Structures are given as C-alpha cells and as structure tokens.
Amino acid sequence: MSTETDSVKVEEKLYYNRYVVDAGRPHVKIRPHEVPSQALLALTKICPAGCYALNDKGQVEVTPDGCMECGTCRIVCADTHDIEWNYPRGGFGVLFKFG
Amino acid sequence: MVEQRFDAIVVGAGPSGNAAAYTLAKEGLNVLQLERGEYAGSKNVQGAILYSDALEKLIPNFREDAPLERHVIEQRLWMLDDASYTGMHYRSEEFNEEKPNRYTIIRAQFDKWFSQKVRDAGATVLYETTVKELIRNTSGKVIGVQTDREDGAVMADVVILAEGVNGLVGQRSGLRDELKPDTVALAVKEMHFLPRDVIESRFNLKGDEGVVIEAMGSVTLGMTGTAFLYTNEESISVGIGCLVSDFTEKREAPYELLERFKSHPAIAPLLAGSEVKEYAAHLIPEGGYNAIPSLFGDGWLMVGDAGHFVNAVHREGSNLAMTTGRVAAETVVRLHRMRKEMTKANLAEYQERLEKTFVLKDMRKYRKIPAFLHGNKETLFGLYPRLLSKAAQTWFRVDGLDKKAKEKAIVSSFRQARTLRGMIGDAFKLARAWR
Ligand SMILES: Cc1cc2nc3c(=O)[nH]c(=O)nc-3n(C[C@H](O)[C@H](O)[C@H](O)COP(=O)(O)OP(=O)(O)OC[C@H]3O[C@@H](n4cnc5c(N)ncnc54)[C@H](O)[C@@H]3O)c2cc1C
Ligand code: SF4
C-alpha cells in the first residue's frame, strides 16, 4: 500500500479550510493514560484531520485545531471512554464554504 | 436570550431542520430554530445530489432562486481495479426536462438559501448557538432546551431534533444510544475547481447538464465503501467513504484513500489541472432500518440523519431528511390546531404518517442490506470488481486466442477465485437482502 513517498500531508489539505479556533478551549480531550488503547492508536491513523499523534513517551495526544467535527474519534472510543468530545462553542470550529 | 416561549423549537439548520422549521412557520406557528454554525451550512457536508421531489413538496418554485449547480443527465457506475474500470453509464436526453429530477448542489450555499426561506416564512433563527441538552419537567416531558448562550434556556411545546448524525443532544438526553462503528461511514471530500468549459468538454456536456459517477472496487482496499465524483458548474466534488469499523480495523488513513482514488487512471484525467479549495469530512448513518432509534416521545420528535434516515444503497439522505422534517412538522401543526398536547401518544402520529411515505417503505425494504454488504465486503468490494475487470480484459483483448478458450478462461478465473457455490450463494444472499 502507501509508502512514505506517496503518502500525503494532511496539513496541506487542512490549509484550504477556514477555522475559527476557540483558543484555550479544545473541544476534544484525551483522558490521561500510560499506555494507549488500541482504539486510540487507531485514531493516529484514521482521524481524517490527522489530529491524533503519538508523543515520544508513547502516549496519544490530540491537537484538535484542524478538526472537521466529524465525530469519528468519539464513536471509535465510545466503549473505551478514552476521549471527551463536545461540539466547539457556537460559531467556533470549522467553517465550510462549500461543504 | 430571545422571547422565552415558543410553539416549537427546531435544533439544527440542515435539510431536515429547515424543512421542519419552514413548514411550521408557514403554517403560522411561533418557531425558534437553533444552529451552531456561523451560518446554515457552515458545518455541513454532502456529495451532493439534490433530489427535486422532496424539496418541491416544500417550495414548489425552488428552481427560480435556489443555488443549483447542474441537472444530472448521466449516471455512471464504475467498478474499479488498480488499472482498469468496468462501467455502466446511463445518459438520457429525457433528463433535460423542464423540471429536472436531480441536481448537483454545494451544501453551504444551498443551506444558506434554504435558511433564508425559513426566515422569510417567519421563523426566528439563531446561528452560533449550540444546544447543550433538553429541559424536562418533573414528569419527564421535554419542555425546552438549554443552549450555550447566557441565560440560554428556551421553552416550547415541542422540540424537533434535526441535529444530524452526531446527535449529541438526543444521545446525552438518553433518547438513543451512541452510534456504532459498523453503522456509520466516514467520508472525506474535496472541491476541485476548473473552468466550466473544461468540465463541459471533459464530460461531454452542454449548458447546465451534469454527470455523476459512483465508484466501488479496489480503491477501498477491501473495506465496505464507495467513492464518488460529481460535476458542479465550475467545480468537481470528489470523495470516498467507508464504514468507521473498517477504517479502524484496517487502520487506513481516509485522506490517503482519497488520494488513491484521485490518482486512479480512470479519475486522474478528469481532475487534471484543477485547483483544490476545500477538504471536508463527515459521517453518514448507514445502519439502515435496524439502526433507526425511537422517533418520538413526550414533547420531542427526531428527523433526518439524527433518526438514521439514509438509504445507503441509493445514496439518498437529504431527501429523506426533508421529508421526515416536513412530516414531523405537519404532525405538530395538526396537533397544535386541534389544541392537543404534544404527548408521546399524540406524537405517534408522526411515525404513522411516515409509514405511508417512501421513507419508511424504502428503509424497510433494504433492512438486510447493511449486514449483507458488511458481512461480504472482501468479495463484493475487492474480489468481484477485480474478476470483472479481468474478464473484460480477456474478452476485449484480441490476441490470437479463440473465443471459446477465452470464455473458458473467464469462467475458470471466477471459479478459482470463488467456487461456483460461493458465487451462487452471494447472488442468492444479495437477492434475499434486496427484497
Ligand atoms: C460525503 C457525503 C455525501 C452525501 N451525498 C448525498 C447525496 O448526494 N444526496 C443526498 O441526498 N444525501 C447525501 N448525503 C447525506 C445527506 O448529507 C444527509 O442525509 C443530510 O444532510 C441530513 O440532513 P440533516 O438535516 O438531518 O442533518 P445535517 O445536514 O447534518 O444538519 C444538522 C445540523 O444541525 C446542526 N447541529 C447539530 N447539533 C447541534 C446542536 N447541538 N445545536 C445546534 N445545532 C446543531 C449542525 O450544525 C447542522 O447544521 C451525503 C452525506 C455525506 C457525508
Ligand atoms: S472529530 Fe473527526 S476530525 Fe475531529 S478529531 Fe475526531 S476524528 Fe479527527
């Protein structure tokens, strides 16, 4: 499948989009953990905005600035209770011009 | 906030909420509609094909000023393998009718237009307002909503939940369960801009004619899903979606899947030279009839994607959303006129009315399809498209091999990959699920 060379940079895609970031009030949070669950590990790959990444201690971190509010991570972690998911405050978050 | 009491509150300004709020306001009810986005459509994503019929029932002359892109005159269904595609095209001059049946649209623009109609009809619409939860009285009846605004409680006789697939209000108020990963698809989509004459020559179109392509096969890497490419006036919508459970299991990145689809030899030439202006992601409820939650209760109704109203086989959603929104509102209007309470028993009329529409009939007809597609994904989305391509290639290549030998080769390639029994079994299972 995809090799390093043909893999795309999701950051470049998100760059097309418009966001109103609610600074200091992330709408997606990960509960503190030592060892990430399989569900959390999957998110580092399947979040369409690439918001999830492993840090150097082997834990999963989320940076929801580019989040498109799809809800996938919430559903994937519904059973593990790894994350707390809310909509951003009214008016904040992604703003689709086309949708 | 605003005036504190309403006949009805509608949560969400997508097609289902707009249909509901429009119908209620037009009939003279005092309606409040709440939308979390900066404008209607700012949070919404769709392919997008608009089916005229559902909208015509609400706004018969919508063609006069709705932001429509192209009317669809050609439908292509493609089975892809890595280097080839086998396709069915249906194109008809009869789709160039006076009142076309299907259009492509751009959701953010369409929703804004629809929202203006809702306001013109007299509803109070508040944007940038997220509903946090339902407010109930001591006997459990829903009597209003709590919003994220200061003094954000508003009361109404009935609340219509049109909050879409991520229906947090309904879930957190215990009206239904969290979505299951195998009942929702995650779709990613890009908008590619090209001059209109380029689009018209690439797709063999004149004027506002449009083409839509649905594709399945090796691009989803054995996951349950489909891809699409729709022509707009000066842009092309291109996207791909698969079940969340499959993404999780395979750990594939959705945007890499999209890149793969865009670079497929059948697709790449259609997009060549385009400028990308947006990348979006959204869930689609695909669990079908069995995933539909309770649709009504004391003081509340559920419509559109929140009620899991999507027909995945026919890729219809917005029309089911508008129809359920309208029917819910008509139920409320009738009860209101008769001065009846918005109790669970009275609101049951919503479901009875829905039973008579295409919505529940179609959903019920395909109730076994989601399980069938999911249970047979490797064969349906991987093996068969590959076999079909191979067979077509054997058939069309002129290479000195006699035709009988070619037929034999095709049959044996199918047999090798899937036993005759397996194939008959698949066909039989599909037929049964289809009924
Ligand atoms: C990629 C893709 C392609 C599709 N293609 C097609 C197609 O071609 N044709 C078709 O008919 N259907 C298609 N669909 C399905 C269609 O988009 C949906 O069925 C339809 O949008 C559902 O309408 P809705 O009003 O129920 O929900 P939505 O359109 O999702 O609207 C819900 C609204 O509620 C708002 N909201 C949510 N929670 C709150 C809250 N707590 N407070 C305030 N506001 C809130 C949201 O911001 C949103 O505006 C597609 C879907 C996707 C994702
Ligand atoms: S909601 Fe979607 S885009 Fe946002 S962090 Fe979760 S998976 Fe990523």
Q: Beta strands B131-136 and B142-147: pairing type?
A: antiparallel
| Nearest CA among B163, B57, B166, B63 for reference residue B110 | B63
**Ligand nearest to the CA of residue A27, numbered in listed order:** 2
* Residue B153 reports pLDDT greater than 90: yes
What φ, ψ does residue B340 adopt, rounded to 5°?
-95, 150
Ligand 2 atom 2, closest CA: A70
Percent of chain B with pLDDT strictly greater than 70: 98
Structure token pair of residue B346: 């009275």
Alpha carbons B79 and B305: distance in angstroms, whole number: 28
Buried-exposed string B386-401: b where 16+ CB fall within 10 A, e elsewhere: bbbbbbbebeeeeeee
CB B32 within 8 A of CB B2: yes
Res B1: pLDDT: 57
Alpha carbons A24 and A17: distance in angstroms, whole number: 20
Res B391: pLDDT: 78
Our CA-based measurement puts residue A57 at a distance from the nearest CA of chain B, in whole angstroms, of 21
* Residue B318 reports pLDDT greater than 90: yes
Prediction pTM value: 0.93
**CA of residue A86 to ligand 1 center, whole Å:** 17
Res B435: pLDDT: 66
Res A7: pLDDT: 64
Confidence of residue B376 (pLDDT cuts 50, 70, 90): confident
Confidence of residue B387 (pLDDT cuts 50, 70, 90): confident
Alpha carbons B409 and B412: distance in angstroms, whole number: 5
Calculate mean pLDDT across residues B286-297: 95
Contact status of A3 with chain B (Cβ, < 8 Å): no
Res A1: pLDDT: 41
* Beta-carbon count within 10 A of A12 CB: 11
What is the average pLDDT score of chain B? 92
Lowest-pLDDT range, B121-130, B310-319, B350-359, B401-410? Answer: B401-410
Contact check, Cβ <8 Å, A13/B279: yes
Calculate mean pLDDT across residues B382-395: 76
**CA of residue A5 to ligand 1 center, whole Å:** 35
Contact status of A60 with chain B (Cβ, < 8 Å): no
Calculate mean pLDDT across residues B189-211: 97
Res B429: pLDDT: 73
Calculate mean pLDDT across residues B283-311: 96
| Nearest CA among B416, B181, B197 for reference residue A42 | B181
Contact check, Cβ <8 Å, A42/B248: yes
Regions in chain A scoring below 70 on pLDDT = 1-7
| Nearest CA among B105, B279, B427, B371 for reference residue A96 | B279
Contact check, Cβ <8 Å, B259/A78: no
**Ligand nearest to the CA of residue A72, numbered in listed order:** 2
